[in-house]
Amino acid sequence: MQSKIGELIGIEYPIFQGGMAWIADASLAGAVSEAGGLGIIAGGNAPKEVVQTEIKKIKEITDKPFGVNIMLLSPFAQDIVDLVCEENVPVVTTGAGNPSKYMARFKEHNIKVIPVVPSVALGARMEKIGADAVIVEGMEAGGHIGKLTTMSIVPQVVDALTIPVIAAGGIGDGRGMAAVLMLGADAVQVGTRFLVAKECTVHENYKARIIKARDIDTTVTCQHFGHPVRAIKNKLTNEYDRLEKIELKKANPDLVQFDELGQGALRKAVVEGDVDHGSIMAGQIAGLVTKEETAKEIIESYISETKEVMAAECSRWL
């Protein structure tokens, strides 16, 4: 498969696996890279040693390119920047902030840098300071999200930039992939569908909630205070909603409690399998995800479906 991204980083299929905090470890990322996509290890909020162990493991699993996602809100972000430079990680993606201050360092180490950008302005800034590509993530995505939808932001960033654009958020199968390629994206990033990969080590209760989810089952917490996060509705998101209603009426809302409620919530769902009080971060396409498959099967199904729907439309239109 020819793609600008494929040539840039040496992958066979233009599919990235999202660097999901607490979830995207060497097991999942290694399987994705081995299957010809780009597996990405999540830095999340983890300390350097934890991420280093995963980097060492992925090098055992595959010789193919892989990435590390640096979550810029993490207290360990600087340490993870040092780590990816020391370990010769080929690709870095960043999220939840502006990576400008690290860019020169990445470039010195020949690392391909691909920031997630929630707007045209940040995308243009990233291109100017040397980003190799950008990931444009719509608010259909799971986890921490921006304000715009994939359908609206992808073509606007494509028009404003010359570097390749990877589309993310709401891309649950080959139909979604074909759609964003039509919008001008060069590749896709997929999170939610990989949550149920056989190689994904997330707790089985988490997987079961994704497979059970319907179209209307995600919600966004902290729309007014703190960081908006999309997750499957449960007792935790109900509690967020209740607190938000109370605090919205106050002149000086108490913001600390939102952080406290969020602390450890993702770990609770991912590691302990507490899907009532933990945060089941997932995108709006969770309703499309119906079965556990290997990472290879997931990638192959995106590619074959994309070809199929493209060919069908071409024969109708051309």
- Contact residues: ligand TUI, CB under 6 A: 21, 71, 73, 95-98, 116, 118, 122, 137, 143-146, 227, 229, 262, 281
Rounded to a whole number of angstroms, the minimum distance from the CB of residue 73 to ligand TUI is 5
Q: In the bound complex, what is the minimum distance in angstroms from residue 52's beta carbon to ligand TUI?
A: 20
Tokens of 299: 């990638």
**Minimum CB distance to ligand TUI smaller for 12 or for 244:** 244
Closest approach of Cβ 134 to ligand TUI, in Å? 10
Task: Output 36 or 143, the one with its CB closest to ligand TUI.
Answer: 143
Nearer to ligand TUI, 58 or 269 (CB): 269
Between 220 and 310, name the residue whose CB sits nearer to ligand TUI. 220
The answer to whether 154 and 182 have CB atoms below 8 angstroms apart is: no
Cross-strand bridge partners of residue 38: 16
CB 118 within 8 A of CB 110: no
Closer to ligand TUI by CB, 153 or 303: give it.
153
**How many Cβ atoms from other residues are within 10 Å of residue 95's Cβ?**
26
Least distance in angstroms from the C-beta of 266 to ligand TUI: 6
> How far apart (Å, rounded) are the C-alpha atoms in residues 285 and 289?
7
Minimum Å gap between C-beta 312 and ligand TUI is: 32
Contact 66, 91 (CB under 8 A): yes
Which residue lies nearest ligand TUI, judged by its C-beta?
A: 143
Residue 118 and residue 148 in contact, taking contact as beta carbons nearer than 8 Å: yes
Least distance (Å) from ligand TUI to the CB of residue 223? 13
Q: 92: which 2 tokens?
A: 């870095």
Residue 217 per-residue DSSP state: -
Pick 36 or 170: Cβ nearer ligand TUI: 170
Q: What is the DSSP string of 34-93?
A: HTTSBEEEE-TT--HHHHHHHHHHHHHH-SS-EEEEEETTSTTHHHHHHHHHHTT-SEEE
Instruction: Give min distance, CB of 131 to ligand TUI, in A.
Output: 12
175-182: Cβ within 8 A, 24+ apart: 175/305, 175/306, 175/309, 176/285, 177/15, 177/302, 177/305, 177/306, 178/305, 178/306, 178/309, 178/310, 178/313, 179/151, 180/150, 180/154, 181/306, 181/310
Residue with structure tokens 């494509």? Answer: 158
**Which of 80, 303 has the CB closer to ligand TUI?**
80
